[in-house]
Amino acid sequence: MKKFLFVVIFFSFALAANAQLNLNVKAALNNLLRYGSGTETVLGNANPKEYFENVTDARLSVNDIVFGMRYEIDQPIEYGVNFRGIKKRYVEYGNNNVGIDFRAGDFWQIIGRGLSMNSFEDRNQFYDTGIDGVKFSYKHTFGDKSPIKTKGMFLGGRILFNDYLVPTRVETYDIRNGNFEISPIKNLNIGANYVYSIGSVPTAFDTTAIKSYIPEGYGTLTIGNFQMFASYAHKQTNTTPNNSYPTPLVAKGDGFYSSLSYSVAKLGFTLDYKNYRFDLTAPDYRGNDRPTRMLPFQNPPTAVKEHASTLLSRYPHVVDFNDEVGGQFDVVYAPNDKVTFNLNLASASRHYDYKNIGTGALIVYQRVERSSSFIPSMDSTLSPWYEAYVEGEWYASDKLYAKIAYDYQNSVIYDNLNPVSSEKQKVSTIPTEFRYTFTKNYTLKVNFENQFVYNSSMTTKKDFMNELLSLSVSKSPNLSATVSYEWTTSNEEPTGKTAWVLGEVSYKLNTTNSVTVSYGTERGGIRCTNGICRYVRPFEGFRLTINSKF
């Protein structure tokens, strides 16, 4: 009832302020409704599945002050923990002339490229590291002719983090963050950040209290057509003794990321390098609930290409931020305004191999040192992964568009105890897209994707194919209808199916209100966003999405 009164007061204030004080009052409202009904396959069994989610975001601005809130009904939620009530609320004051920004309540924050602080939300993954607290920032520029720009920021608050793999497991972090940036000359920006957090990390039988200290330094430099960025963060985590960790641990780790980009007319390239060692440890200690691992509000760049193709996105590289070294090289070449080529080469591996030196049933791992651990290795003991992607895009005319790509990935997931059972995988994919506009409003789109997979861990058929054909007709600006047919020659799908058909119709009532309905079978598989990966279960049934803005 208190929450209800809060909402009523919140909105009544707008009307009262508008009527009596003649303030500049504006309001905006977004609503997202999702409903689904069908069956979901869990461990080979088809179970009934129904979800209803309604997310309402409201914002009210009174001059320079913004009030915001989100009312959420997830009963039942599609993936995660059910919820009903006010999930987020905040008040914000910003004044660009003075350079002040203040926010109290719920917010997310990224500093630099996120090595020490990158809290964000992804509802699809049930990932939310939102901070409930306060944030204050101040910008000031000294001088006019050769201005020196400075910015300081402080935030403090609490993060309640539901483990996206085991949603009922909740970690708590009380954090304090101080940040300072200075730009002494136009082309140089230097920043320093410090995060201190007190955390509570539950495991199956215990909860571990931790304290973490994460200093970070970063900088951007632009020289002519070159732009460089580099960032280094060090993390120390101290644990308080308990049954799981009887002796106090002082775990130290670090991460380095840099990028170099060069761009001129028609050509641009970017080279990314990552060296993440936030929690180097033996294979038997790795785990999503390990208290000394990289903390959930840290989220550095993955330095791998994110694919839009359906079949390619089914085979993502799962980045291990605690132990991974690698990089990517990306080239964009546009010889004219009709043609664009993209080349992406990426590689990654673990830093070290671990040998079992125990005898009998006793397992004792010993790290095998490697002098070149700052570069990725193709040695299978280091779980290497590499990818080569090339794409050509052609706007043949106002009516015809074509895109053809080729991707090759090769990976090993090394089994330190039994190397013979290591998973080796090779995936070649050819995604294509063709679009033809018949009249000014009607467009036909065809996507055809072909994928060849070799996976050593398959028991019956190690080589198989995946194919996808998708036909879409759209009438601008309101209507689009898509039918997708996907099939595989693999016989080890969890549902036992070898073909999936899905139909989807989307209708825009106007430019800001749309309804999408889909019916059919969805294959499921690993889905990744920002390096956060989880298995999405196969689904068969009906889905409805209504998106509204007022």
**By CB under 8 A, what part of segment 420-439 binds another protein?**
435, 437
58 binds another protein (CB under 8 A): yes
- The correct pick among 11, 93, 136, 507 for binding another protein (CB under 8 A) is 11
Q: Show the beta-strand stretches assigned E in 240-374.
A: 250-264, 267-277, 324-336, 339-349, 353-356, 365-368
Map residue 117 onto helix, strand or coil: coil
Residues in CB range of 347: below 8 A, 6 or more apart: 326, 327, 328, 376, 384, 385, 386, 387
DSSP 143: -
Helix, strand and coil in the chain, % to nearest 5: 5, 60, 30
Q: Which range, of 41-49, 377-385, 441-449, 484-492, touches another protein by CB under 8 A?
A: 441-449
CB under 8 Å, gap of 24 or more: what pairs does 67-74 form? 67/10, 67/13, 67/91, 67/92, 68/92, 68/105, 69/7, 69/10, 71/7
Q: Which of 242, 261, 432, 490 binds another protein (CB under 8 A)?
A: 261
User: Which string of x and - marks every residue 184-223 that binds another protein (by CB under 8 A)?
Assistant: --xx-x------------------------------x-x-
| Biggest alpha carbon–alpha carbon distance for the chain | 82
Considering only residues 269 through 288, tell me which ones interact with another protein, judged by CB under 8 A: 269-270, 272
- Nearest distance from C-beta of residue 177 to another protein, angstroms: 14
- The footprint of another protein on this chain (CB under 8 A) covers a number of residues equal to 94
The 10 Å CB-count burial string (b at 16+, else e) for 190-220 is ebbbbbebebebbbeeeebbbebebbbbbbb
Site for another protein in 442-481 (CB under 8 A): 442-443, 445, 474-477, 480
> Could you tell me which stretch among 125-133, 264-272, 282-290, 355-363 binds another protein (CB under 8 A)?
264-272
Q: Which residues within the stretch 309-348 sit at the binding site for another protein (CB under 8 A)?
A: 330, 332-334, 337, 340
Residue 26 or 367 with smaller CB distance to another protein: 26
Quick one: which segment of 197-205, 255-263, 404-412, 413-421 binds another protein (CB under 8 A)?
A: 255-263
The yes or no reply on residue 512 touching another protein (CB under 8 A) is yes
CB of 200 to another protein, least distance (A): 27
Q: Pick the stretch among 104-112, 156-164, 355-363, 517-525 that binds another protein (CB under 8 A).
A: 104-112
Residue 286 is classified by DSSP as -
Q: Which of 54, 242, 450, 456 binds another protein (CB under 8 A)?
A: 54
224 vs 360 by CB, closer to another protein: 224
Structure tokens at 514: 């749309």
Q: Least separation, in Å, of the C-beta of 113 and another protein?
A: 4
Find the binding residues for another protein in span 287-306 (CB under 8 A): 299-304, 306
Gap between the terminal Cα atoms of the chain: 26
Of 291, 282, 284, nearest to 235 by C-alpha is: 291
Contact range with another protein by CB under 8 A, out of 22-30, 35-43, 277-285, 494-502:
22-30
Query: Does 150 participate in binding another protein (rule CB under 8 A)?
Result: no
CB of 136 to another protein, least distance (A): 15
The residue among 214 and 453 lying less far from another protein, judged by its C-beta, is 214
Nearest to another protein of 39, 129 (CB atom): 129
Encoded one letter per residue, x for contact with another protein by CB under 8 A and - for no contact, window 111-130 reads -xxx---x-x--x-------
The one segment of 164-172, 238-246, 257-265, 407-415 that binds another protein by CB under 8 A: 257-265
- Give the DSSP per-residue string, 438-459: SSSSEEEEEEEEEEEEEETT-S
Which residues lie below 8 Å from residue 460, measured CB to CB, with a gap of 6+? 491, 492
Nearer to another protein, 272 or 493 (CB): 272
Nearest residue to 276 (alpha-carbon basis) of 175, 350, 367, 359: 350
Q: How far is the CB of 182 from another protein (least distance, A)?
A: 13
- For residues 278 and 255, the answer to whether their CB atoms sit within 8 Å is yes
- Cβ atoms of 95 and 65 within 8 Å: the answer is no
Q: Which of 104, 267, 515, 533 binds another protein (CB under 8 A)?
A: 267
Rounded to a whole number of angstroms, the minimum distance from the CB of residue 355 to another protein is 33
Give the shortest CB-373-to-another protein separation in angstroms.
23
Closest to another protein by CB, 336 vs 359, is 336
Comparison of 89 and 290: residue with beta carbon closer to another protein: 89
User: Taking CB under 8 A as the criterion, which residues in 513-532 touch another protein?
Assistant: 514, 530-531
Nearest distance from C-beta of residue 25 to another protein, angstroms: 8
Nearby residues of 200 by Cβ (< 8 Å), 6 or more positions away: 171, 172, 173, 207, 208, 209, 210
Min separation Cβ 465 and another protein, Å:
24
| Alpha carbons within 13 A on the beta-carbon side of 103 | 23
Q: 9 by DSSP, 3-state: which?
A: helix
Q: Which residues are paired to 218 by β-bridges?
A: 191, 231
